[in-house]
Structure 1
Amino acid sequence: MADSAYDYAPTVMFDGVYRMWWCGQAPEQKVPGDDILYAESSSPDGPFQARGSAAPHQIVFEGTGNGSFDNEHTCDPSVVRVNGTYYLYYGAERHDGEPTTIGVASSPDGFNWTRVNNDQPIIAPANQQNTGNTYGAGQPSAIYLDGFFYLMFTDTTGAGALGNGAGQFVWRSPDPAFQSQVESFTAAGWQSKTVANSRSFSVANAFSADWQYSDALRAFIIAHDNAPGQTTLTFLDPNNLAKQAYADVTIPGQWTEGPGVVSRPDKHSPVSGTNDCGRIPVDVIRSTTSYPPRQLAHIGLDLLSGTSCAAMPPRQIAAIYEGYGLQFPGLPAAVVVSGRRLQVEDIATYSDLTHNAMYVPRSIYDAIPYGASLHYGETVLGASGRPGAFQLDNDTLWPVSCPQLVTDNHSSITMVEPKTWLSYLKGPGLFCLSSGPGSGPGTLYRCYNPGNGHHMDTTDPGCEGYPHRDGILWTISPTQIPGTVPLYRCYNPGNGDHMDTTDPGCEGYLHRDGVLGYLFPTRVPGSVTLYRCYSPGNGDHLTSFIFNCEGYPQKDGVLGYTIT
Structure 2
Amino acid sequence: MRVSGLTLVLVVMLVASGCTTVRGTSTGPDKPSSSRTQEPDAESPAEPAVRLDVAHQRGGPRVIAASRDPATDHGATLLRDGDRTRLWWCGRNRTGKRAGRAGTVILHASARDLDSRFTGSGGTKRGDKPGQKSGDKPRDKRGQNRSQQRDNAPRVVFSGGKGGFDAAYTCDPSVIKVGDVYYMYYTGTTGKPGASNAIGLATSKNGVRWRRANGGKAIVRPERPKRDGYGAGRPAVVYLDGWFYLLFTDSTASTAGSASKGGNRGQFLLRSGDAAFGKQVQALGERGFRPVSGTGAARTWSLTEGALDAPAGAAAADTADADLMWVDLLDAFAVAHATDTGTRLTFWDRSFSGHPYPSVTVRGDGTDGPGLVRAPTGHAPQSERDPCDAVPLDLVRATQGKPKRTGLRHIGADLVGAQGCADRADALRLLDGYAFPSPEHTMDLVVNGELVRVERRSVATILAPGGVLTRRPALPDLDVTARLNSGAPVLRSRHGQTGLLLDDGRLWPLRTPALAQRIARRNASDVRTVGDIAWGTYPVASVLG
Instruction: Specify if TM > 0.5.
Output: yes
* Counterpart residue number, 2:484: none
* Counterpart residue number, 1:271: 382
Measure how far apart 1:306 and its partner are. Answer: 4.3
CA distance in 2 between partners of 1:369 and 1:13 (Å): 35
SS at match of 2:410: strand
Distance change >3 Å, CA 551–CA 245, structure 1 → 2: closer
**2:368 matched to 1:257?**
yes
Q: Does the CA-based 8 Å contact 2:388-2:427 persist in structure 1?
A: no
* Counterpart residue number, 1:296: 408
SS at match of 1:246: coil
Of the three residues 358, 367, 372, the one matched with 2:467 is 358
Distance change >3 Å, CA 99–CA 109, structure 1 → 2: same
Q: Does the CA-based 8 Å contact 1:315-1:368 persist in structure 2?
A: no
Equivalent position amino acid for 2:165 in 1: F
Distance change >3 Å, CA 81–CA 550, structure 1 → 2: farther
Measure how far apart 1:229 and its partner are. Answer: 2.5
Of 178-187 and 91-100, the range deviating more from structure 2: 91-100
CA distance in 1 between partners of 2:281 and 2:491 (Å): 37
* Counterpart residue number, 1:446: none
**2:184 matched to 1:88?**
yes
* Counterpart residue number, 2:18: none
* Counterpart residue number, 1:232: 344
CA distance in 2 between partners of 1:359 and 1:57 (Å): 34
* Counterpart residue number, 1:149: 244
**2:200 matched to 1:116?**
no
Return the structure number with greater strand share. 1
**2:103 matched to 1:4?**
no
Q: Does the CA-based 8 Å contact 1:133-1:156 persist in structure 2?
A: no
Equivalent position amino acid for 2:348 in 1: L
Superposed CA deviations along residues 540-564 of structure 1, whole A, max 9, x for unmatched, are xxxx8x6x555664699xxxxxxxx
Of the three residues 191, 206, 209, the one matched with 2:322 is 209
**2:210 matched to 1:140?**
no
Distance change >3 Å, CA 199–CA 88, structure 1 → 2: farther
SS at match of 1:209: strand
Alignment identity in percent?
33
Q: Does the CA-based 8 Å contact 1:314-1:367 persist in structure 2?
A: no
CA distance in 1 between partners of 2:280 and 2:519 (Å): 49
Measure how far apart 1:213 and its partner are. Answer: 0.7
**2:285 matched to 1:172?**
no
SS at match of 1:178: coil
CA distance in 2 between partners of 1:190 and 1:374 (Å): 52
Measure how far apart 1:147 and its partner are. Answer: 1.0
**2:86 matched to 1:19?**
yes
CA distance in 1 between partners of 2:359 and 2:155 (Å): 36
* Counterpart residue number, 2:253: 158
Distance change >3 Å, CA 178–CA 196, structure 1 → 2: closer
**2:127 matched to 1:29?**
no
Measure how far apart 1:357 and its partner are. Answer: 4.5
CA distance in 2 between partners of 1:138 and 1:368 (Å): 50
Q: Where do 1:20-419 residues align within 5 Å?
A: 20-26=87-93, 27=95, 28-52=98-122, 54-64=151-161, 66-95=162-191, 98-127=195-224, 134-163=229-258, 164-194=263-293, 196-203=297-304, 204=307, 206-225=319-338, 227-239=339-351, 241-289=352-400, 294-309=406-421, 311-315=422-426, 317-318=428-429, 320=430, 326=434, 357-360=466-469
CA distance in 1 between partners of 2:478 and 2:233 (Å): 41
* Counterpart residue number, 2:32: none
Equivalent position amino acid for 2:184 in 1: L
* Counterpart residue number, 1:423: none
* Counterpart residue number, 1:413: none
Measure how far apart 1:165 and its partner are. Answer: 2.0
TM-score, reference length from structure 2 = 0.60
CA distance in 1 between partners of 2:211 and 2:451 (Å): 33
Unaligned segments of structure 2, at least 5 residues: 1-65, 123-147, 309-318, 453-463, 482-489, 498-505, 525-545
Superposed CA deviations along residues 76-121 of structure 1, whole A, max 9, x for unmatched, are 0011111221111111112255211111111112112221112111
CA distance in 2 between partners of 1:554 and 1:244 (Å): 49
Measure how far apart 1:170 and its partner are. Answer: 0.6
Distance change >3 Å, CA 134–CA 308, structure 1 → 2: closer
Superposed CA deviations along residues 140-191 of structure 1, whole A, max 9, x for unmatched, are 0010111111110111111221232222111111111111111100111110
CA distance in 1 between partners of 2:191 and 2:342 (Å): 33
Q: Does the CA-based 8 Å contact 2:80-2:373 persist in structure 1?
A: yes
Unaligned segments of structure 1, at least 5 residues: 343-354, 380-393, 395-407, 411-543, 557-564
SS at match of 2:277: coil
* Counterpart residue number, 1:513: none
Superposed CA deviations along residues 17-40 of structure 1, whole A, max 9, x for unmatched, are 111111111234233322111111
CA distance in 2 between partners of 1:158 and 1:267 (Å): 26
Distance change >3 Å, CA 550–CA 117, structure 1 → 2: farther
Distance change >3 Å, CA 68–CA 333, structure 1 → 2: farther
Measure how far apart 1:361 and its partner are. Answer: 7.4
* Counterpart residue number, 1:429: none
CA distance in 2 between partners of 1:103 and 1:341 (Å): 45
CA distance in 2 between partners of 1:62 and 1:316 (Å): 45
Distance change >3 Å, CA 67–CA 187, structure 1 → 2: same
Q: Does the CA-based 8 Å contact 2:451-2:478 persist in structure 1?
A: no
Q: Where do 1:427-446 residues align within 5 Å?
A: none
TM-score, reference length from structure 1 = 0.58
Equivalent position amino acid for 1:13 in 2: L
SS at match of 2:354: strand
CA distance in 2 between partners of 1:45 and 1:34 (Å): 26
Equivalent position amino acid for 1:51 in 2: S
Distance change >3 Å, CA 142–CA 68, structure 1 → 2: same
Q: Does the CA-based 8 Å contact 1:37-1:59 persist in structure 2?
A: yes
* Counterpart residue number, 1:421: none
CA distance in 1 between partners of 2:345 and 2:75 (Å): 16
The structure whose RCO (Cα within 8 Å, separation 6+) is larger is: 2
Measure how far apart 1:297 and its partner are. Answer: 1.0
CA distance in 2 between partners of 1:233 and 1:36 (Å): 26
CA distance in 2 between partners of 1:260 and 1:375 (Å): 48
Q: Does the CA-based 8 Å contact 1:103-1:123 persist in structure 2?
A: yes
CA distance in 1 between partners of 2:491 and 2:166 (Å): 44
Superposed CA deviations along residues 175-212 of structure 1, whole A, max 9, x for unmatched, are 11111111100111110124554453324461120010
Measure how far apart 1:45 and its partner are. Answer: 1.9
Distance change >3 Å, CA 2–CA 103, structure 1 → 2: closer
CA distance in 2 between partners of 1:297 and 1:108 (Å): 27
* Counterpart residue number, 1:444: none
Distance change >3 Å, CA 367–CA 106, structure 1 → 2: farther
SS at match of 1:270: coil
Distance change >3 Å, CA 554–CA 48, structure 1 → 2: same
Q: Does the CA-based 8 Å contact 2:445-2:451 persist in structure 1?
A: no
Superposed CA deviations along residues 438-496 of structure 1, whole A, max 9, x for unmatched, are xxxxxxxxxxxxxxxxxxxxxxxxxxxxxxxxxxxxxxxxxxxxxxxxxxxxxxxxxxx
Q: Does the CA-based 8 Å contact 2:248-2:269 persist in structure 1?
A: yes
